[in-house]
């Protein structure tokens, strides 16, 4: 079976769901306090505190979303499960390799995803992995590209998991090593 992944609206929506929910809660709270005749001071306090809360939760998510979007925009990741072959395309460059060519996979996950907990923070759904091939070619796969958590059937001794609060991607999504 061939699995093909491309960044699309659905994969972006999956990652942005928490932020969208927080924004809807923000608008609902403001509407409720405005329309149910609370005092002017209560309405101003609600607007101020809700805006601060929204900014604390959503600005980091927006920054991370833009970072992940720039990393994998226009990329295609194709995985043939039967042949265990992968094709990764970035800016017209194509890398084809077999699962045995993978030297390591470093996964950068949120603390919640790593523990299997509920994702409370707006940016918990954003995760990425860095595949390093034996020829030192490096490929970055973000959750915007694969639409969720990145998983490949490779031996556990080749996988390293780094769990942290905020997972910023550094570098290009495709860097060629020695041929």
Q: What is the pLDDT along the chain (179 residues), one digit of tens a residue?
A: 888 888 888 888 888 888 888 889 888 888 887 777 677 787 788 888 888 988 888 888 899 999 999 999 989 999 998 999 999 999 889 999 999 999 999 999 988 888 888 877 888 888 999 999 999 999 999 988 987 777 788 888 999 998 888 888 887 777 877 65
Alpha-carbon distance of 113 to 125, in angstroms, equals 7
In this structure, is residue 11 part of a structural domain?
Answer: yes
Print the domain residue range for 54.
7-73+95-179
Alpha-carbon distance of 104 to 120, in angstroms, equals 30
Question: How big is the CA angle at 92 (ends 131 and 129), to the nearest 5 degrees?
Answer: 15
Q: Is 37 helix (H, G, I), strand (E, B) or coil?
A: coil
In this structure, is residue 59 part of a structural domain?
Answer: yes
Alpha carbon of residue 7 to chain centroid: 11
**Residue 173 per-residue DSSP state:** S
In this structure, is residue 81 part of a structural domain?
Answer: no
Q: So what's the pLDDT on residue 147?
A: 79
Q: So what's the pLDDT on residue 179?
A: 52
Helix, strand, coil shares of the chain as percentages rounded to 5? 40, 30, 30
Q: So what's the pLDDT on residue 138?
A: 92
In this structure, is residue 82 part of a structural domain?
Answer: no
Q: Let me know: does 152 contact 79? Beta carbons within 8 Å.
A: yes
The number of domains in the chain is 1
Q: So what's the pLDDT on residue 8?
A: 86
Tokens of residue 46, six digits:
């609600």
């Amino acid at each position: 079976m061939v699995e093909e992944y491309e960044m699309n609206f659905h994969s972006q929506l999956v990652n942005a769901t928490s932020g969208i929910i927080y924004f809807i809660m923000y608008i609902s709270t403001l509407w409720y306090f405005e329309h149910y005749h609370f005092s002017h001071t209560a309405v101003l306090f609600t607007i101020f505190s809700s805006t601060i809360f929204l900014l604390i939760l959503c600005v980091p998510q927006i920054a991370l979303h833009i970072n992940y979007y720039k990393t994998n925009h226009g990329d295609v990741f194709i995985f043939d499960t039967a042949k265990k072959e992968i094709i990764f395309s970035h800016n017209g460059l194509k890398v084809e390799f077999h699962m045995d060519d993978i030297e390591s996979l470093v996964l950068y996950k949120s603390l919640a995803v790593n523990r299997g907990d509920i994702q409370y923070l707006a940016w918990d759904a954003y995760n990425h992995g860095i595949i390093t091939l034996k020829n030192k070619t490096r490929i970055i796969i973000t959750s915007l590209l694969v639409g969720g958590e990145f998983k490949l059937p490779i031996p556990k001794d080749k996988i390293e998991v780094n769990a942290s609060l905020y997972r910023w991607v550094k570098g290009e999504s495709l860097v060629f090593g020695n041929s």
